[in-house]
Amino acid sequence: MRMLNELQGFTGHPAHIAHIERQLEKRGKQAAFQAALREATGKAWTTERNAPGFYRDEIILSLSQALETIEPATKLFDNAETEFSLTVGNFCTQPPKKS
């Protein structure tokens, strides 16, 4: 799974963060999220996404800006690790990242 995530341009680990990236990509919001996070932290998402806990507030703020809502962004990030389960079913239904 890690290798496939990386080949598609998502983080290899943690898997729940790759899942969030996929959801953003699916909604066409990945670029907006990354721009908002860079503005909030001065750092690129791709260099910080392997340790998202250090930027929790900034990630939630950036998600809320990209998704244009605050409550689902908080829930999405805070519950991502516990609610995401890697199964063959959800793995196979993930669309590939658009190039």
Instruction: Identify the pLDDT of residue 69.
Output: 81
Q: pLDDT for 74-98, tens place per residue?
A: 777 776 666 665 565 655 555 555 5
Give the C-alpha distances (Å, rounded to integers) separating 7 from 10, 12, 90, 91, 97: 7, 9, 18, 14, 9
64 part of a folded domain? yes
98 part of a folded domain? no
More confident residue, 75 or 51: 51
Instruction: Identify the pLDDT of residue 42.
Output: 95
22 part of a folded domain? yes
The total of structural domains in the chain comes to 1
Distance CA 82, CA 9 (A): 23
